């Protein structure tokens, strides 16, 4: 392989910090990648429903559209956690399902139960003839790179990863999620009754810790603006160290860390760990007097059983990006280029603040303007 994963991680982290903290202009949400020339675009709203997992090994897909025969296809390889994780994998899949309903394109998925499944599932879809194979998650960086090198005529996309130098046949999809996490942190600090909020992650990797960076910085900004002293448990942005479950699957681990944070006084918790966070939500709902902040999608919709305890959700709109990519595959106009989602192009954001008596909408709107202008720092 022409580059090491560690080098890619460093390049991406540095680039994300520059984009988020310094106000460097970034591409607007494309009318379907790779057009990243700028302009305002209305991203489609995509609900994240429960997903019924079919009992198949390799789903049948279209015969391919490059030669004008058959229906083109887009195929998702999930990260661990399952297609119905009510978070990361499900959000991506919802965008593809919406595209299948709206355009002449077929979609399919294969679930990765463990990291060794990445390569197997990617290769299965290549053999099946998928026009675009999408890897959902940073941890697939090596597997997608290997497949791209071995199959230069095959198109790929990968969420939460950008290669340097880029591959001609891979579209990187990354997000300045610290910007949205900042808004959630500000909301958490405004809502807390104990003066303590918390967070934890699944694994200490950039797509996780960027949420947490923004969250802590948002709390600090609230303190600066309001003369308060709200503290954050679970993450130190300067040390880049904090609480992690070590996985994205165990609801029991989510419950345990949630209970521990509540025991220490936290009454707002943001778990950045996919379905692990559902365990935290269950613990909060049972104990009461606390809120949860969802990630990736609006948890009042995707995990509606916990809607009564959701303060807000940090939105990573990969569903909308994949919807537009699938549209371009259907139209025969797809090409690969890096996409960066930010507040400015609505690639990231937060869901409405709920279950809270205060009104901070004007404050949040002003903060969004400040972040977009580069006047507010959202990460170290």
Q: 3-state class of 348 per DSSP?
A: strand
Mind listing the domains of the chain with CATH numbers?
5-176+318-341 (3.40.50.2300), 178-317+349-373 (3.40.50.2300)
The two structure tokens encoding residue 53: 């997992």
Residue 61 is predicted with a pLDDT of: 59
State the average pLDDT over residues 110-139: 97
**What's the whole-number average pLDDT of the chain?**
86
In the block, which residue shows the tokens 């991680």?
Answer: 9
Kindly give, in sequence order, each residue whose CB lies less than 8 Å from that of residue 234, ignoring residues fewer than 6 positions away: 198, 199, 200, 212, 242, 243, 261, 266
Q: Tens digit of pLDDT for each residue in 129-179?
A: 999 999 999 999 999 999 999 999 999 999 999 999 999 999 999 999 999
Residue 112 is predicted with a pLDDT of: 96
Q: In 23-136, where does DSSP find H-type helix?
A: 88-102, 117-128
Q: Residue 179: which H helix or E strand, with range? A: helix 177-191
With both helix axes pointing from N to C terminus, report the angle between 206-226 and 5-22 in degrees, rounded to the nearest 10.
20
Residue 62 is predicted with a pLDDT of: 53
**Residue percentage of the chain with pLDDT more than 70:** 82
Q: 3-state class of 289 per DSSP?
A: coil
Pairwise CA distance, residues 104 & 271, whole Å: 37
The 8-class DSSP code of residue 11 comes to: H
Q: Tens digit of pLDDT for each residue in 71-107?
A: 999 999 999 989 998 888 999 999 999 999 999 999 9
Sheet architecture: strand order including 231-233: 231-233, 196-201, 268-272, 291-296, 310-316, 348-350
Question: Residue 54: which pLDDT band, with cuts at 50, 70 and 90?
Answer: very low
Rounded to two decimals, what is the model's pTM?
A: 0.82
- How many helices (H) and strands (E) would you count in the chain? 11, 14
Pairwise CA distance, residues 4 & 105, whole Å: 35
């Amino acid at each position: 392989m022409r580059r090491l994963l560690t080098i890619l991680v460093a390049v991406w982290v540095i680039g994300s910090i520059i984009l988020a903290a310094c106000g460097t202009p970034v591409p607007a949400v494309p009318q379907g990648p790779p057009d990243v020339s700028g302009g305002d675009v209305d991203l489609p709203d995509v609900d994240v429903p429960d997903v019924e997992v079919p009992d198949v090994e390799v789903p049948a897909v279209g015969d391919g559209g490059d030669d004008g025969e058959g229906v083109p296809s887009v195929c998702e390889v999930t990260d661990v956690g399952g297609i119905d994780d009510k978070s990361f994998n499900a959000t991506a899949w919802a965008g593809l399902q919406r595209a299948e309903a709206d355009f002449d394109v077929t979609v399919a998925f294969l679930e990765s139960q463990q990291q060794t499944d990445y390569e197997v599932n990617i290769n299965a879809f290549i053999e099946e003839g998928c026009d675009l194979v999408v890897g959902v998650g940073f941890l697939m960086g090596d597997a997608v790179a290997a497949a791209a090198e071995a199959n230069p005529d095959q198109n790929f996309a990968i969420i939460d990863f950008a290669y340097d130098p880029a591959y001609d046949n891979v579209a990187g999809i990354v997000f300045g999620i610290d910007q949205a996490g900042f808004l959630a942190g500000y909301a958490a600090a405004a809502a807390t009754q104990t003066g303590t909020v918390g967070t934890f992650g699944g694994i200490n990797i950039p797509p996780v810790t960027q949420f947490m960076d923004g969250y802590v910085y948002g709390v600090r900004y609230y303190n600066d603006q309001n003369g308060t002293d709200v503290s954050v448990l679970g993450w130190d942005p300067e040390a880049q160290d904090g609480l992690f479950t070590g996985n994205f699957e165990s609801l029991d681990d989510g419950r345990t860390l949630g209970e521990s944070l509540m025991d220490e006084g936290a009454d707002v918790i943001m778990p950045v760990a996919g379905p692990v966070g559902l365990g935290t939500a269950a613990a909060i709902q049972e104990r009461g007097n606390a809120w949860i902040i969802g990630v990736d999608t609006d948890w009042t919709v995707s995990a509606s059983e916990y809607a009564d305890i959701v303060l807000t959700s940090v939105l990573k709109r990969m569903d909308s990006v994949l919807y537009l990519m699938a549209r371009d595959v259907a139209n025969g106009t797809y090409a690969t280029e890096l996409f960066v989602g930010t507040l400015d192009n609505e690639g990231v954001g937060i869901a409405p603040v709920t279950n809270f008596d205060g009104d901070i909408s004007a404050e949040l709107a002003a903060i969004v303007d400040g972040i977009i202008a580069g006047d507010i720092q959202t990460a170290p």
